[in-house]
Amino acid sequence: MTTDPLPIGISAGEPAGIGPDLCLQLAHQFPDAPLVIAADATLMRARARLLGLPYPFLEVDPWEGTLPHPRRPLLWHHPLVVPARAGHLEPRNSRAVLNALDSLTDACQAGHLAALVTAPLQKSVIVEAGIPFTGHTEYLAARLGVSHVVMMLVGGGLRVALATTHLPLSQVPSAITQEVLDKTLTLLHHELKFRFGCPSPRILVAGLNPHAGENGHLGQEEITVISPAIARAQAAGIDAQGPFPADTLFLPERLEGSDAVLVMYHDQGLPVLKRASFGSGVNITLGLPILRTSVDHGTALDRAGTGNLDPGSLQAALALARSLAQGTP
């Protein structure tokens, strides 16, 4: 006797961007997949016409706490306030967009969905609507009551985790504390071991300053914060090494035998990963009580409704979510 896998929930993201287009392409590519896509049904029908695609979804509305095991992609209708147009941001729709994300998050937490996959949101328009928002990672952590999460991107043979996420560069040094690094290294070690199946995870840690501070001549953070955190991790049985200068950390000979790299801020490590895997990279939030993956790109407003897009990252995010949900990373 076999048990059907739980569906994967996908939020279509910013309605003016390429998220709806990607979801439509995904539904056509996997017509029998157990997917639940949260979006406005009118938007999805209009975007399908714009792209010249048949409408592929069975609509479910309202949510009643249970789902059939779908034999085709489902559309969980979340109405927008005003009609969406490809490429045109509309702040009045921001709350509705977050409502769709909230519904899928709650369904994952309740055990109705195996994982959450997110298409990109436009941070600026949500903020313009008067809603504090710095990104999916922080938003989901707050909604799920988690005090510490780690953003990690996977692709091109790399796993790159971030000590800080969406912060202005001027705020990064003060945000990198020993407590933050202690929690980050502990969580990263745990997730690599128990979610990604690395029996003895080896983590390489970047310095913050050029040349990893040059023995204090180019900054003190490596001496006062990062090195002590690495030492405490090692004492706790975590194989963390560093801090290494970021400009040579990603050389193949340095990476050999490692399972992940921990960088200090967003643009220190992600340009390297995206150069190696853009269009097929996956963002995963470590430390949530649910499994969440996402694309490695933005809303691409100029491509919405044109058909000129690559669904590879969403496909990869779905594939990783499914494999992690099944325990086969």
Same domain, 325 and 279: no
> Any binding-site annotation on 183?
no
Q: Write the CATH number for 199.
A: 3.40.718.10
Same domain, 255 and 307: no
**Per-residue model confidence (pLDDT) at position 147:** 93
Q: Are strands 239-244 and 202-206 parallel, antiparallel or unpaired?
A: parallel
> Any binding-site annotation on 292?
yes
> Any binding-site annotation on 266?
yes
Same domain, 166 and 30: no
Same domain, 65 and 142: yes
* Cβ(113)–Cβ(6) below 8 Å: yes
**Per-residue model confidence (pLDDT) at position 166:** 87
Q: What is the pLDDT of residues 8-35, one digit of tens each?
A: 999 999 999 999 999 999 999 988 888 9
Same domain, 84 and 202: no
Q: How many domains does the chain have?
A: 2
Same domain, 14 and 154: no
> Any binding-site annotation on 297?
no
> Any binding-site annotation on 283?
yes
Same domain, 8 and 42: yes
Q: What is the pLDDT of residues 181-237, one digit of tens each?
A: 999 999 999 999 999 999 999 999 999 999 999 999 999 999 999 999 999 999 999
Q: C-alpha distances in angstroms, 145 versus 108, 140, 142, 290, 328?
A: 14, 8, 5, 12, 27
Pair of tokens at residue 220: 């003190």
Same domain, 142 and 46: yes
Pair of tokens at residue 241: 């090494």
pTM of the model: 0.92
Same domain, 320 and 237: no
**Per-residue model confidence (pLDDT) at position 204:** 98
> Any binding-site annotation on 3?
no
**Residue 100: domain span:** 1-146+291-329
Same domain, 197 and 208: yes
Q: Are strands 150-155 and 282-286 parallel, antiparallel or unpaired?
A: antiparallel
Same domain, 165 and 40: no
Distance CA 151, CA 62 (A): 32
> Any binding-site annotation on 274?
yes
Same domain, 230 and 301: no
Q: Are strands 158-162 and 150-155 parallel, antiparallel or unpaired?
A: antiparallel
Q: Are strands 115-118 and 8-11 parallel, antiparallel or unpaired?
A: parallel
Q: What is the pLDDT of residues 33-84, one digit of tens each?
A: 889 999 999 999 999 999 999 999 988 865 555 555 567 899 999 999 999 9
> Any binding-site annotation on 328?
no
